[in-house]
Structure 1
Amino acid sequence: MKFSWKISISMLVISILVMGLGGYALLEALFSSSWQREVENGAEENRMLAYSFVAYWNTTAQEWQNFSDGDIRKTAEVMADGMAWAGTEFSIYEEDGQLLYGGKKESPETGKEAEKLIQVVSERQRARLLREQEGRYELATMSSVSLGEKRLIYLESDRDVTVLYEDRTARETIYRRWMTVILLLELPVCYLMTVWLLRPLGRLSRAARRIAGGELEARARMGSRDEVGLLARDFNRMADHLQQQFTELQETARRQEDFIGSFAHELKTPLTSMIGYADMLRSREMTEEERFEAANYIFKEGKRLEALSLKLLDLLVLRHEELKKRQVSAVWLAEELRGILEPALAEYGIRLKLSVKEDRIELEPDLMKTVLLNLMDNGRKAMESVPNQEEKWLCLLGRPEQEGYAFYVRDTGKGIPAEELSRITEAFYMVDKSRARKQGGAGLGLSICAEIVKRHGGTLTFQSQEGRGTLVRVWLPGKEESR
């Protein structure tokens, strides 16, 4: 069953319960109020009849000592004739329930009813009884009347309350009819309102199905600011997050595929050559010079594969090993790099410029040396590929900034194309593969650098312009932020 039907039927059931119980309680309260008025009027009428009977009795009775039942009946007849205009009926009973005067025919039932009323009157001074005969209702009210000191009679007055019950029945009939009409109209109205209110949920459902079908850009339209609108907004945020994660997963999968492909290629090329040269050594007669050249090639390619495996091991270790950082002087680190690089740079006619401001930096010294050496060595290689360059400068700058410390490595080499900058830290990715392999590279250096900087909580960014060089920024957080 649809949710809209569930809500509509639930509203209908609640309406039936509330209107049914509430309506009938109201009708019963109205009837009870009217009934109470009839009871009070009956009691007042009975009281007036009792006073009137005593007054007539005092007027018509001649002898107080020896009066009979006939005198009581005669007095009642005189009183009934005098009050004929009021249309009031009354009856008079003995203490044993015997009828002395009244319009009713004496019967066992009337005698029993009279006895019950007389018994109640003896306890409460007034009693009432509701009679139903052939669809008519009478309210009988009885009280005791003293005729002197020796005679006690009971006067019963009857009041027709049929109209009261007929009004209640008519009101209940009208109420049932109106309730039926209202409920018949309420069901379609509730259904239409529910469908209208649940339309945003339908849009959410359609958007969810589209996303499940592969349309990751699908979103739910937000048409209100109520709870459903907030739900749609949260759904769209979730969809944005899922799309972003899916894109990142796709990018990660692509990088893994590229890594595996590049790794296989890096192994295949030297291994094929090594196997070929080894086969030549064992299957052909060669001169001493040819044997040395073949062995030398096998040795160089073996060393390159050894370096490749060590770099891969370093990359894996970096991702799982806890860094042991300590505070180091920025100037001291720069001078260490100068001592290592200056002889090699001088060989290629490259001038080294250092401008490092003193500060204490929390880092792992050997790993940070690896980062800066790798970046500066890449700058050297970039300037090697630029022939006839008059001045070759490699700069290392350092200064505190943004609640941390930043190193800048600047070269005047050939630069990196803008479309390549976003991928240069991927494993095995090389901008110029032929030059990189010729210089002994495998495309893992910048990947290791990026991982080291990431483990320090810092950032590694590149700016480059083809033909004018590259600027690399290594930012490291301060002591408190690094923690």
Structure 2
Amino acid sequence: MRFWHKILLSVLALFIAALDVSVIMVMKKSWQLNMDSEMQRASSEQLLIANNIYENLNSIQARGTALTPILLASVSESYGDYYHKQGIYLQLWENERMIYPPQKGQFGKSDFGKDGQPESSDERSIQLSTQLPAPYQHLLLVYQRDISELFNKQQELNRFFVMINWIVGPILLLLLYLLIRHLSKPLKLLSETSKTIAEGDYTKRVQLRSKDEFGELALNFNRMAEAVEQRVTELSDMAEEKQRMVDNLAHELRTPLTSIQGFAEFITTANIGQEEQQTAGGYILSETLRLKNLAFKLLDLSVLRHQPLAFQQVDISELFQAIQQTERPKFTDAGISFHVHHTIPNVWGDPDLLASLLVNLVENAIHASKQGSEIYMLAYDLDGEAVLEIRDTGTGITTEMAKRVFEPFYRGDQARSREYGGAGLGLSLCRQIAEAHKARLSLNSVLGEGTSIRLFLQLYNNCPPTL
């Protein structure tokens, strides 16, 4: 049974029960008040009749006339005939003998106790008895009043109540159905939306604008759905990135391992001279260096993902001087001019990671430049941020390549990358170093003219970030 079914049946049952109990109690109270009113009226009429008979008997005795049973019956008859038209019946008893009417009517003296109240009576009539005042206390006046009309009205009221129940019940059921369906509509929307999300459509939201508890629940549900969608998207991207990294890694490892295996077999199985051995050993050494560099790059990427940084003030002069000393032999061998210039003294960051970033960018610039080209390493202030820039006048790259150069294992020029033993991880490592510094990394390149890569950092006089 659905929730709104339970609410509908419960509310309907409670409402009908409360209505019936209330109406029954009102009807009982009304009946009791009507009966009390009829009893009071009957008692007043009986007392009035008894007083009138008493006055008549006193008047008769005052004229000196003896009170015979016939005379008593005559007096009683005059009142009996008058009140009979009103549904009232009278009896007059004298010493256990009924005087009026001549024959026993609808009730007898035995129906009444000594106190004048009826011991047993017709349920559709009121019966009372009382003795006349002295000296006529031997006379007993019995009064009976028909209240069938009151019973008939009560029965008609009961039938009307049953009819109202049959009419109001279906109407109430319909109104409650419409009301509860309207009130439970948000629950239906939440259920349908959650089912859709469970089936994989994380973009679904609850379209509910009410300001009650259901509206608040829908708002929180949508927030939860957004968080779930974002998390699922992140997990999906991470899974794709990991799968792509595994695929690329497998591809990168296959070539050097195949080369190493081939040259190792050549050395161990062939009858070759010393010069050929040195050549084969050189190839094995170069491929081994490629694998080592690949392993170190992957290790650096893993460390950046899981280890928070402790920032400190980095001296630009010392940083640039260390890079110059490290890369000077490569510039000399490549015949490339290297220029350094800075207008800011310090930045906030990790000196080792910043050095690694600049070395990767400088080596990429060397690989992309021809003999006689120029490479610049700059540090300056731009709109309140410290900028570290590597600029070259090399071959440059296309717009499509520029969109993917920061992806792991991506290599724009396959031949040149393999020539220099690259695995396509250098710029990916630079991107993660930038993210670890809460910095921005931008690349501008024109094919045939050169490339500029800039890292936007906090200035040395800014507050260090809190991690």
CA contact (8 A) 1:89 1:103 kept: no
Q: 1:212 and 1:202 mapped to 2: Cα distance?
A: 15
The alpha-carbon deviation at position 35 of structure 1 amounts to: 2.1
Aligned-partner SS, 1:300: helix
Q: What is aligned with 1:465?
A: 445
CA RMSD, 1 decimal? 4.1
Aligned-partner SS, 1:392: strand
Aligned-partner SS, 2:121: strand
Q: Is the aligned partner of 1:302 residue 2:288? A: yes
Paired AA for residue 319 in structure 2: L
TM-score where L is the length of structure 2: 0.79
Q: Is the aligned partner of 1:352 residue 2:340? A: yes
The partner residue of 1:436 within 397, 411, 417 is 417
Once the two structures are superposed, residues 152-181 of structure 1 have per-residue CA deviations (whole angstroms, 9 ceiling, x without a partner) of: 765442221111111010111122123213
The alpha-carbon deviation at position 191 of structure 1 amounts to: 4.3
Q: 1:285 and 1:460 mapped to 2: Cα distance?
A: 57
CA contact (8 A) 1:130 1:139 kept: no
Q: What is aligned with 2:121?
A: 131
| Number of positions where the alignment pairs a residue of Structure 1 with one of Structure 2 | 452
The alpha-carbon deviation at position 255 of structure 1 amounts to: 0.7
Q: What is aligned with 2:378?
A: 395
Q: What is aligned with 1:114?
A: 112
Q: 2:377 and 2:154 mapped to 1: Cα distance?
A: 107
Paired AA for residue 163 in structure 1: E
Unpaired segments of 5 or more residues in structure 1? 122-126
Once the two structures are superposed, residues 190-214 of structure 1 have per-residue CA deviations (whole angstroms, 9 ceiling, x without a partner) of: 5466556656655655555555555
Q: Is the aligned partner of 1:408 residue 2:426? A: no
Q: What is aligned with 1:36?
A: 36
Q: 1:143 and 1:245 mapped to 2: Cα distance?
A: 96
Unpaired segments of 5 or more residues in structure 2? none
Paired AA for residue 28 in structure 2: E
Q: 1:232 and 1:210 mapped to 2: Cα distance?
A: 15
The alpha-carbon deviation at position 424 of structure 1 amounts to: 4.1
CA contact (8 A) 1:415 1:470 kept: no
Match runs of 1:414-429 below 5 Å: 414-415=395-396, 417-420=398-401, 423-429=404-410
Q: Is the aligned partner of 1:50 residue 2:50? A: yes
The partner residue of 1:140 within 97, 112, 127 is 127
Q: What is aligned with 1:182?
A: 168
Q: 1:476 and 1:100 mapped to 2: Cα distance?
A: 125
CA contact (8 A) 2:112 2:120 kept: no
Once the two structures are superposed, residues 11-45 of structure 1 have per-residue CA deviations (whole angstroms, 9 ceiling, x without a partner) of: 44234323322332333333233223212212222
Shift of the 445–191 alpha-carbon distance from structure 1 to 2, 3 Å rule, reads: same
Shift of the 102–382 alpha-carbon distance from structure 1 to 2, 3 Å rule, reads: farther
Paired AA for residue 268 in structure 2: R
Q: 1:422 and 1:106 mapped to 2: Cα distance?
A: 122
**Percent of matched pairs sharing the same residue:** 24
Q: What is aligned with 2:266?
A: 280
CA contact (8 A) 1:351 1:393 kept: yes
Paired AA for residue 314 in structure 1: D
Q: Is the aligned partner of 1:381 residue 2:368? A: no
Q: What is aligned with 2:301?
A: 315
Paired AA for residue 23 in structure 1: V
The alpha-carbon deviation at position 215 of structure 1 amounts to: 4.6
Aligned-partner SS, 1:132: coil
Q: What is aligned with 1:339?
A: 321
CA contact (8 A) 2:365 2:375 kept: no
- The range that moved more, 150-159 or 341-350, is 150-159
Aligned-partner SS, 1:146: coil
Q: 1:420 and 1:251 mapped to 2: Cα distance?
A: 20
Shift of the 141–470 alpha-carbon distance from structure 1 to 2, 3 Å rule, reads: farther
Q: 2:42 and 2:465 mapped to 1: Cα distance?
A: 94
The partner residue of 1:249 within 218, 222, 235 is 235
CA contact (8 A) 1:8 1:191 kept: yes
Aligned-partner SS, 2:452: strand
Q: What is aligned with 2:75?
A: 78
Shift of the 379–60 alpha-carbon distance from structure 1 to 2, 3 Å rule, reads: farther
Paired AA for residue 122 in structure 2: E
